[in-house]
Amino acid sequence: MPKTKTSSSAKKRFKVTAGGKVLRRRAPKSHNLTKKTSKRKRGFRKDEPVAAADVPAVRAMLGKRGQR
């Protein structure tokens, strides 16, 4: 059986921790930053866990990388 390929877009967007959690980047950190407070922008720096309903789909896209 052939190997499954990792989705190139998924490997750039998601990270799997040593404990197995799947993390993603927060959304509103790319533009219109002047109107957002510093406190708000600091909060966007942290990665956030992927919603439980989406984890199986993300792991499938990550292939072998998603099994850590």
Domains in the chain: boundaries:
8-27+35-67
DSSP secondary structure code for residue 20 in this structure: S
Q: What would the pLDDT profile of 13-55 be if each residue is shown by its tens digit?
A: 999 999 999 999 999 988 999 999 999 999 999 999 999 999 9
DSSP state of 19: T
- State the maximum Cα–Cα separation within the chain, in Å, rounded to a whole number: 52
Residue 68 has pLDDT above 90, yes or no: no
Assigned fold of 8-27+35-67: Factor Xa Inhibitor (4.10.410)
What confidence score (pLDDT) does residue 2 get? 84
Considering only CA atoms, which of 29, 13, 2 is closest in space to residue 65?
Answer: 13
Mean pLDDT of 57-64: 92
- Predicted structure pTM score: 0.82
| pLDDT at site 54 | 96
Tell me, what's the pLDDT at 65? 84
